[in-house]
Structure 1
Protein backbone atom coordinates (compact mmCIF):
# COMPACT_ATOMS: atom_id res chain seq x y z
CA UNK A 1 0.00 0.00 0.00
CA UNK A 2 1.19 3.52 -0.76
CA UNK A 3 0.93 6.04 2.07
CA UNK A 4 1.14 9.78 1.62
CA UNK A 5 1.71 10.38 5.36
CA UNK A 6 5.24 11.66 4.62
CA UNK A 7 3.71 14.34 2.38
CA UNK A 8 1.65 15.81 5.22
CA UNK A 9 4.71 15.82 7.52
CA UNK A 10 6.84 17.49 4.82
CA UNK A 11 4.15 20.09 4.21
CA UNK A 12 3.93 20.79 7.93
CA UNK A 13 7.73 21.24 8.20
CA UNK A 14 7.73 23.64 5.26
CA UNK A 15 4.63 25.55 6.28
CA UNK A 16 2.81 24.51 3.11
CA UNK A 17 -0.95 24.09 2.78
CA UNK A 18 -3.19 22.31 0.31
CA UNK A 19 -4.09 25.79 -0.97
CA UNK A 20 -0.43 26.33 -1.92
CA UNK A 21 -0.44 22.99 -3.76
CA UNK A 22 -3.52 24.02 -5.68
CA UNK A 23 -2.29 27.53 -6.56
CA UNK A 24 1.45 26.98 -7.13
CA UNK A 25 1.25 23.45 -8.49
CA UNK A 26 -2.16 23.59 -10.12
CA UNK A 27 -3.04 20.38 -8.28
CA UNK A 28 -6.79 19.85 -8.35
CA UNK A 29 -8.97 19.44 -5.30
CA UNK A 30 -9.85 15.92 -6.48
CA UNK A 31 -6.14 15.02 -6.54
CA UNK A 32 -5.76 16.42 -3.01
CA UNK A 33 -8.69 14.21 -1.98
CA UNK A 34 -6.97 11.17 -3.56
CA UNK A 35 -3.75 11.98 -1.69
CA UNK A 36 -5.64 12.22 1.60
CA UNK A 37 -7.26 8.82 0.90
CA UNK A 38 -3.91 7.21 -0.09
CA UNK A 39 -5.27 6.55 -3.57
CA UNK A 40 -3.21 6.54 -6.76
CA UNK A 41 -2.01 9.77 -8.35
CA UNK A 42 0.01 10.38 -11.50
CA UNK A 43 3.79 10.55 -11.62
CA UNK A 44 3.32 14.11 -12.90
CA UNK A 45 1.58 14.96 -9.62
CA UNK A 46 4.41 13.38 -7.63
CA UNK A 47 6.96 15.36 -9.63
CA UNK A 48 5.04 18.58 -9.03
CA UNK A 49 4.81 17.91 -5.29
CA UNK A 50 8.57 17.33 -5.11
CA UNK A 51 9.21 20.51 -7.07
CA UNK A 52 6.90 22.70 -4.97
CA UNK A 53 8.17 21.32 -1.66
CA UNK A 54 11.80 21.02 -2.80
CA UNK A 55 12.01 17.40 -1.64
CA UNK A 56 12.38 13.81 -2.86
CA UNK A 57 9.80 11.07 -3.31
CA UNK A 58 10.70 9.68 0.12
CA UNK A 59 9.40 12.95 1.57
CA UNK A 60 6.09 12.52 -0.26
CA UNK A 61 5.19 8.84 -0.13
CA UNK A 62 6.06 5.51 1.45
CA UNK A 63 5.39 1.92 0.48
CA UNK A 64 3.88 -0.13 3.29
CA UNK A 65 3.82 -3.90 3.07
CA UNK A 66 0.33 -5.34 2.83
CA UNK A 67 -0.60 -7.57 5.74
CA UNK A 68 -2.65 -9.94 3.60
CA UNK A 69 -0.86 -12.49 1.41
CA UNK A 70 -0.97 -11.67 -2.28
CA UNK A 71 -2.12 -14.15 -4.90
CA UNK A 72 0.40 -12.64 -7.36
CA UNK A 73 3.57 -14.54 -8.14
Structure 2
Protein backbone atom coordinates (compact mmCIF):
# COMPACT_ATOMS: atom_id res chain seq x y z
CA UNK A 1 0.00 0.00 0.00
CA UNK A 2 1.45 3.32 -1.05
CA UNK A 3 0.95 6.57 0.82
CA UNK A 4 1.91 10.15 0.19
CA UNK A 5 2.48 12.95 2.67
CA UNK A 6 2.10 15.80 0.16
CA UNK A 7 -0.79 17.16 2.22
CA UNK A 8 1.55 17.45 5.21
CA UNK A 9 4.08 19.51 3.25
CA UNK A 10 1.29 21.81 2.03
CA UNK A 11 0.15 22.37 5.62
CA UNK A 12 3.69 23.32 6.59
CA UNK A 13 3.87 25.79 3.69
CA UNK A 14 0.51 27.30 4.61
CA UNK A 15 1.64 27.74 8.21
CA UNK A 16 5.06 29.10 7.22
CA UNK A 17 6.77 26.19 8.97
CA UNK A 18 9.90 24.31 7.99
CA UNK A 19 10.40 20.56 8.29
CA UNK A 20 12.80 21.28 11.14
CA UNK A 21 10.00 23.14 12.97
CA UNK A 22 7.74 20.11 12.64
CA UNK A 23 10.52 17.81 13.79
CA UNK A 24 11.02 19.84 16.95
CA UNK A 25 7.34 20.50 17.67
CA UNK A 26 6.25 16.88 17.19
CA UNK A 27 9.47 15.48 18.72
CA UNK A 28 10.33 13.41 15.65
CA UNK A 29 13.71 11.92 14.79
CA UNK A 30 15.70 12.73 11.66
CA UNK A 31 15.12 9.13 10.58
CA UNK A 32 11.33 9.59 10.79
CA UNK A 33 11.53 12.86 8.89
CA UNK A 34 13.49 11.10 6.15
CA UNK A 35 10.84 8.37 5.95
CA UNK A 36 8.10 11.00 5.65
CA UNK A 37 10.07 12.80 2.95
CA UNK A 38 10.36 9.56 0.98
CA UNK A 39 6.66 8.67 1.40
CA UNK A 40 7.56 5.58 3.41
CA UNK A 41 5.43 3.94 6.09
CA UNK A 42 5.59 5.39 9.60
CA UNK A 43 3.92 4.26 12.80
CA UNK A 44 0.50 5.41 13.94
CA UNK A 45 2.26 6.91 16.98
CA UNK A 46 4.23 9.13 14.62
CA UNK A 47 1.09 10.18 12.77
CA UNK A 48 -0.59 10.95 16.09
CA UNK A 49 2.36 13.12 17.20
CA UNK A 50 2.16 15.10 13.97
CA UNK A 51 -1.61 15.51 14.25
CA UNK A 52 -1.33 16.74 17.84
CA UNK A 53 1.46 19.16 16.93
CA UNK A 54 -0.47 20.60 13.98
CA UNK A 55 -3.96 20.25 15.47
CA UNK A 56 -5.25 18.27 12.50
CA UNK A 57 -6.38 14.77 11.53
CA UNK A 58 -4.61 11.97 9.68
CA UNK A 59 -6.69 12.71 6.57
CA UNK A 60 -5.24 16.22 6.61
CA UNK A 61 -1.62 15.03 6.40
CA UNK A 62 -1.59 11.87 4.30
CA UNK A 63 -3.33 10.12 1.44
CA UNK A 64 -3.46 6.43 0.55
CA UNK A 65 -2.75 5.94 -3.14
CA UNK A 66 -4.59 3.36 -5.23
CA UNK A 67 -2.60 0.26 -6.10
CA UNK A 68 -1.56 -0.31 -9.69
CA UNK A 69 -3.21 -3.35 -11.24
Same fold? TM cut 0.5: yes
Q: Which has the larger radius of gyration?
A: 1
The alignment's C-alpha RMSD in Å is: 1.0
TM-score between the two structures when normalised by the length of structure 1: 0.84
Structure 2 stretches lacking a partner, 5+ long: none
TM-score between the two structures when normalised by the length of structure 2: 0.89
Aligned residues, how many?
68
For 1:38, the equivalent position in structure 2 comes to 39
Please give the alpha-carbon distance, in whole angstroms, between the structure 2 residues aligned to 1:16 and 1:54.
Answer: 14
Give the drift of 1:5. 0.7
Give the drift of 1:7. 0.5
| 4+ runs deviating over 3 angstroms | none
Structure 1 stretches lacking a partner, 5+ long: none
